[in-house]
Amino acid sequence: MSANADALLEKIRALPAERQAEIEDFVDFISARLRECTLAQTAAAASAPAFAAIWNNPADDIYDAL
């Protein structure tokens, strides 16, 4: 483990149990947000080829300039 991680763990261990629970909830929240963001980016990347034919056509070229 890195020195930063060790220092962070020591700080967390020094807190009361209630505060440690808050930190755990916050870490869970950040992890969930990261998973949601990754899922959205993956879905967008997967759907881009399917929509390419619809989005990229001469009839809609005028909208590209907007």
Residue 65: the pLDDT is: 77
C-alpha pair distances (Å), 44 with each of 22, 26, 52: 33, 27, 12
Distance of CA 9 to the CA centre of its chain: 23
pLDDT at 12: 97
pLDDT score recorded for residue 51: 85
Q: Specify the pLDDT at position 4.
A: 94
Per-residue pLDDT of the chain (66 residues; tens, 9 = 90+): 799 999 999 999 999 999 999 999 999 999 999 999 999 999 999 998 888 878 788 887 788 777
The boundaries of the domain holding residue 56 are 3-64
- What is d(CA 66, CA 48) in angstroms, rounded to the nearest whole number? 20
pLDDT of 56 reads: 80
Q: How many domains does one find in the chain?
A: 1
